[in-house]
Each structure stands twice: as structure tokens, then as C-alpha cells.
């Protein structure tokens, strides 16, 4: 750590020798005393007392002027959202409060390491808040040296107060949000959690704007398949490139008397738009099958983990007794971008026109497994399809896990064929 700068500032504020201050600072820091605390104790030694020489109340900084790298700031803000969750911090479970503040100039995320007791809608003067950087953006850190007081006048903001959100508005990093949704799918899973084996719920929720996956880390009985609920204080994380809703012990779930209307349609995007979005839980694209890749058709999977394997070798489980399965990995292209569509066994059976037993028979007859992939290739390549599924993007590229796969009836060639078939019917 560079102690020259703080030592010089402190020495000139206290009017004492810089070298002496620097040596004191260095020895305190060596004993892992935090910098702020070290500075305080040096001020006390020289009779500077708490807060040092700058007794005047610091001026509030506008939120759009806060940048990573600033030290401690005072802000006048409106509380937009308050979320609560526990995290593991230095081996201890700690409850933190997070959300967004707003003022006339913008909004900013904050994390409060203790409960200051403020709520959405409150107008506050927050003194001595730390500034840290999170994914390139500044965030406020409210700790034990931060002061929080109610402002005398309401702080104006153009941002929406309270966390009520449509699913389509949510993005990873959101905290303290409230949603009204229908539970479309839910299952109980046992996981190895922080405190041993725990039961959690996972599934899919929907409203009129979108469908999203969710996890309830502290199962709420009201979260039941088909039920409509208002869920307050959820946070959003990224799961395989798309937003995922997290319900916790701090969330409240209230059943709704009226059923929440849900969308049946996935947003339809070009492949370029879908890829640019960074991942989507539910999307529909219309594209041509350019190629059916190796690893399609009759494949083997590890019975332990389900990974596709070759020659009975799983890269995690070593030598295993592989299980036969059907799948397709197809390259989709719509002229704007390409993605790899992963089609599971059920849909592959339909496309292939037979199940695993049929495929094995065909492979035995031809003495070549590849005949299955070849049949699929002849069926798919060159035609246009309407494909719905979940798009995830990672370092290996863009993969669309397919839920629905159908011939594109808006494809001019297909339509022409259909019309001709009718004419000649």
C-alpha cells in the first residue's frame, strides 16, 4: 500500500513532520489496522481528535458525480429499494441490506453492512459512505463509520420508488424487488448448503411480460404449482447468462386471490439480438439448419452425471458403463448470427422418427452408428425452423437448449410446397 499520500495529507493537516507520521502509519498498517482507523489514532496522538481539522459539514455530492476511486462521500438521497440477504463474510454469516438510492441526477447501488432502519421512500442524508467499484460502476458502502439521518426535505428523484417490477425489467444484480407472478413449475431439491443438507425449491415463474427461473432458498409453502403470488424482496442473479429470481428467508410471499395473467409467447428475436442480450431464459428464433454436428444421433452418456461420453470414458467419473441416448447438435443460422441448438432425446425421437431401440437397430444393421446422425442430417439441413428455448452464452459459444422445434410455416419455400401440395392434393 502507498502510505506516502495519506501520510503527507495527514502531516499537513496536523502540522507535524511527515516522516514521523509515515513511520507511525506503516507500523499500524503492519499490524493490519485499517487505514482509516490508523489515521484516527495518529490524529489522536497529535491532539487532532475525531474527524481531524475539517470540522465543517461536508457538502452532499450529486449521484452522477460519484466515481470509483473516490474515498468517502456525503449524499442526499431517496431510498428506492431495500433488499435483505445473508452472505458469508470472513467465515461468518452476515445480514446485509442492499438496493438503490436516487436523487435528481441519477441512481446508485448501495450495500449497508448494518441495519440503519431506512425504508423505500425515505429521504436521507448519508454521511461518510465509502465508494467502491463493482463491474465498472460505483457503489456506495455503508459501514460502521457511516452516518444516516432523515433529510428535512423530501429528496426529488425521477426514479421509481419501491421495488415493484415486471419480470422483463429484471436484470442480474437487482435487489429488493417485488413481483406478482404465477408459479408455472416447481420442484423440491436437496442441496449441500452452508449448513449441511437443505431443501430448496426451484422452478419457473411467469407474468404477462416474461418467464424466468427461480430458486427459493427457504421454501415458502405458498409457492405451489399453479398458484399466483406477490413475492416481496427478491434478488436477481445471473444463471447461465439469463436473470434468475432468488427468494430468501427475508422474502414475503402472499397468495393473490386473482390469477396472474401469463404470457404464452417467448419474445421473438433475430439470432444477433439474442446473442447480444448475453443470454435469455426463453426466446424464439426462426433460422435455417446449416449443419448437424458430430456428436449428434445415437450417443452415450455417463450414468452418473449425464455428460455425453465416448468409449465409456467420462472426464469426471472415469470408466463407466455408458447409457445410450439420442440428441442433436445443430448449427442454426438466420443471416445475422449462428448458434448451436441442443435438442434433447424426446424431440430428437420425433425428428428421427424412432426411439433409442430403433436407432440401435439401424446402427447394428448398417454396422455404423453414424447412420442415425445421417438420417437426421437429411431431414433437417437446409430447412427453416421456428425454435424456442433457453439461450446461454459462455466461452465456448452460444447454445440454445431447445424446448420447441417446428417447421417454419412462414418460410416461403415451405409455404410454396404446402400450396402446391394442396393444388395437386
Interface positions with Zn ion (CB under 5 A): 302, 304-305, 314, 316-317
Nearer to Zn ion, 189 or 307 (CB): 307
As a whole number of angstroms, the distance between CA 135 and CA 358 comes to: 51
Nearer to Zn ion, 126 or 320 (CB): 320
- Nearest one of 73, 56, 67 to 130, comparing CA atoms: 73
- Closest distance to Zn ion from the beta carbon of 411 (Å): 40
E strands within 194-335?
A: 196-206, 211-216, 228-239, 242-247, 252-255, 280-292, 297-301, 308-309, 313-314, 318-319, 323-333
Residue 265 phi/psi, 5° resolution? Answer: -95, 145
- Closest distance to Zn ion from the beta carbon of 315 (Å): 7
The secondary structure of 94-120 as a DSSP string is: EEEEEEEEEETTEEEEEEESS-----T
- The set of cell numbers assigned to 159 is 426514479
What is the C-alpha radius of gyration for the chain, rounded to an integer number of angstroms? Answer: 29
Q: Tell me how far CA of residue 34 lies from CA of 4, 40, 51, 141, in angstroms.
A: 16, 10, 16, 15
- The set of cell numbers assigned to 357 is 431401440
Nearer to Zn ion, 153 or 321 (CB): 321
- Closest distance to Zn ion from the beta carbon of 305 (Å): 3
Nearer to Zn ion, 206 or 314 (CB): 314
57-59-65 Cα angle (round to 5): 150
- Closest distance to Zn ion from the beta carbon of 325 (Å): 13
- Closest distance to Zn ion from the beta carbon of 317 (Å): 4
As a whole number of angstroms, the distance between CA 63 and CA 107 comes to: 6
Nearer to Zn ion, 147 or 313 (CB): 313
Assess contact for 236 and 173: CB atoms under 8 A.
yes
- Closest distance to Zn ion from the beta carbon of 196 (Å): 25
- The set of cell numbers assigned to 334 is 438466420
Nearer to Zn ion, 305 or 406 (CB): 305
- Closest distance to Zn ion from the beta carbon of 316 (Å): 4
- Closest distance to Zn ion from the beta carbon of 65 (Å): 53
Nearer to Zn ion, 132 or 315 (CB): 315
Residue 135 phi/psi, 5° resolution? Answer: 50, 45
- Closest distance to Zn ion from the beta carbon of 319 (Å): 10
Nearer to Zn ion, 274 or 342 (CB): 342
The residues pairing with 96 across neighbouring beta strands, listed in sequence order, are 85
Assess contact for 241 and 391: CB atoms under 8 A.
yes
Nearer to Zn ion, 247 or 320 (CB): 320
Assess contact for 22 and 4: CB atoms under 8 A.
yes
As a whole number of angstroms, the distance between CA 133 and CA 138 comes to: 5
| HSE-CB for 65 with a 13 A CA cutoff | 12
Amino acid at each position: 500500500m502507498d502510505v506516502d499520500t495519506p501520510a503527507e495529507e495527514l502531516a499537513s493537516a496536523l502540522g507535524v513532520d511527515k516522516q514521523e507520521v509515515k513511520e507511525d502509519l506503516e507500523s499500524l498498517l503492519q499490524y493490519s489496522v485499517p487505514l482509516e482507523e490508523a489515521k484516527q489514532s495518529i490524529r489522536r496522538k497529535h491532539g487532532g481528535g475525531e474527524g481531524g481539522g475539517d470540522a465543517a459539514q461536508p457538502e452532499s455530492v450529486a449521484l452522477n458525480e460519484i466515481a470509483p476511486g473516490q474515498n468517502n462521500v456525503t449524499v442526499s438521497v431517496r431510498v428506492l429499494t431495500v433488499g435483505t440477504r445473508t452472505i458469508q463474510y470472513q467465515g461468518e454469516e452476515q445480514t446485509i441490506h442492499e438496493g438503490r438510492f436516487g436523487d435528481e441526477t441519477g441512481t446508485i447501488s448501495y450495500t449497508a453492512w448494518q441495519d440503519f432502519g431506512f425504508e423505500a421512500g425515505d429521504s436521507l442524508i448519508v454521511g461518510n459512505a465509502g465508494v467502491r467499484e463493482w463491474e465498472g460502476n460505483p457503489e456506495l458502502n455503508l459501514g460502521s463509520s457511516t452516518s444516516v439521518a432523515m433529510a428535512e426535505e423530501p429528496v426529488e428523484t425521477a426514479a421509481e420508488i419501491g421495488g415493484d417490477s415486471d419480470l422483463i425489467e429484471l436484470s442480474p444484480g437487482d435487489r429488493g424487488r417485488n413481483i406478482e407472478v404465477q408459479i408455472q413449475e416447481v420442484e423440491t431439491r436437496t442441496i449441500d448448503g452452508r449448513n449441511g443438507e437443505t431443501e430448496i425449491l426451484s422452478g419457473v415463474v411467469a407474468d404477462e411480460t416474461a418467464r424466468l427461473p427461480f430458486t427459493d432458498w427457504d421454501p415458502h409453502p405458498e409457492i405451489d404449482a399453479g398458484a399466483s403470488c406477490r413475492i416481496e424482496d427478491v434478488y436477481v442473479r445471473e444463471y447461465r447468462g439469463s436473470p434468475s429470481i432468488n427468494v430468501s428467508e427475508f422474502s414475503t410471499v402472499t397468495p393473490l386471490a386473482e390469477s396472474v395473467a401469463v404470457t404464452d409467447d417467448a419474445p421473438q428475436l433475430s439470432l444477433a439480438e439474442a446473442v447480444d442480450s448475453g443470454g435469455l431464459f426463453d426466446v424464439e428464433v426462426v433460422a435455417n439448419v446449416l449443419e448437424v454436428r458430430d456428436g449428434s444421433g445415437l450417443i452415450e452418456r455417463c450414468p452418473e452425471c449425464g455428460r455425453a461420453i465416448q468409449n465409456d470414458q467420462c472426464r469426471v467419473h472415469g470408466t463407466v458403463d455408458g447409457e445410450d441416448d439420442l440428441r442433436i447438435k445443430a448449427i442454426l443460422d438466420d443471416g445475422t448470427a449462428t448458434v448451436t441448438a441442443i435438442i434433447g432425446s424426446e424431440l430428437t425421437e420425433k425428428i428421427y422418427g424412432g426411439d433409442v431401440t430403433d436407432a440401435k437397430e439401424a446402427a447394428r444393421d448398417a454396422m455404423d452408428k453414424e447412420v442415425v446422425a445421417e438420417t437426421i442430417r437429411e431431414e433437417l439441413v437446409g430447412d427453416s425452423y421456428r425454435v424456442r428455448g433457453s439461450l446461454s452464452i459462455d466461452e465456448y459459444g452460444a447454445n440454445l437448449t431447445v424446448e420447441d422445434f417446428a417447421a417454419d410455416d412462414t418460410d416461403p419455400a415451405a409455404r410454396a410446397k404446402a400450396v402446391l401440395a394442396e393444388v395437386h392434393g
